[in-house]
Amino acid sequence: MIPSLGLSLLKPEFFTRSEITKIAAELIGKILISNIGGEPTAGIIVETEAYSGTDDRACHAHNKKRTPRTETMFLEGGHTYVYLCYGMHHLFNVVTNVEGEPDAVLIRALQPIDGMEAMAQRRGLPENSLKISRGPACLSQALGINKSHNALNLITSEVIQIYEAPKRIAPIKIVSSKRIGVDFAGKDSEKLWRFYENGNPWVSSRPTQK
DNA sequence: CAGCAGATTGACT
DNA sequence: GTCAATCTGCTGC
């Protein structure tokens, strides 16, 4: 609970549902908070991607494949899944579905709302830069997330939490597209499993995206 | 603005 | 040994 804002933590039942794309879409607008290294930071989730352990070759745990890395995705929904990509980027995901069903939602972009100074410092950018938390690797670095934050429980953790979305005067528009960087997945790369807030300047965009 | 190469490490074959 | 759910900076138009 954030008393000053009247916001509550998301409940376990939000994460343990099986509708992966529904969860990914509903996460847009929610508040992601980290409290790492004594530097609290927070942002609004504006972009996500869904990955399913069943019927999705783009997922690390496709076909329910268990490896040391993917083991985290088999946890009950509501845990974090952080892994290293391209040898230098930490990508932050939220595990969904019940234990034994390896689904996850990749958080791709945030709109910063608090702790901008700490985020700017971690990124080496000015506080007003749009690049602070636009893109999955950028957002993790801005919040201070690394592999040590893998497999945390979002419900009980003091370090990383996700809160209900605040009320909006003008409802946000959520649109979907193909996922980014998963061309290797063949026909599964065609899935419209990327969701973002339409028109939000913090949403990442790749020149080659379709 | 499009296109491309480099960075850099751990997971997997 | 190969390649990855990426980002940045440089090139050239």
- Residues A109-165: tens digit of each pLDDT: 999 999 999 999 999 999 999 999 999 999 999 999 999 999 999 999 999 999 999
CA distance A91 to A77: 17
A61-70 tens-digit pLDDT: 999 999 999 9
| Residue at minimum CA to C1' distance from nucleotide B7 | A88
Through-space separation of residue A89 CA and nucleotide C10 C1' in angstroms: 21
Between the two ends of chain A, the Cα-to-Cα distance in Å is 39
CA-to-C1' span, A55 to B11 (A): 22
Using DSSP's 3-state secondary structure scheme, residue A22 falls into helix
Count the Cβ atoms, other than its own, within 10 Å of residue A134: 23
Measuring from the CA of residue A60 to each C1', which nucleotide is nearest? C5
Question: Straight-line distance from CA A38 to C1' B2, in Å?
Answer: 42
Q: How many residues does chain A have?
A: 210
Strand, helix or coil for residue A75: coil
* Contact residues for A37 (Cβ-Cβ < 8 A; gap 6+): A144
Distance (Å, whole) CA A45 – CA A102:
22
Q: Smallest Cα–Cα separation from A16: which of A92, A108, A107, A101?
A: A101
Evaluate whether A113 touches A42 at the Cβ level (below 8 Å): yes
Angstrom distance, A137 CA to B4 C1': 20
Q: What is the pLDDT of residue A210?
A: 37
**By the 8 A CB rule, do A108 and A85 touch?**
no
Amino acid at A37: G
Closest Cα to residue A145, out of A92, A198, A200, A72?
A92
Give the tens place of pLDDT for each residue, A74-83: 999 999 999 9
Q: Which nucleotide across the nucleic acid strands is nearest to A147, CA versus C1'?
A: B10
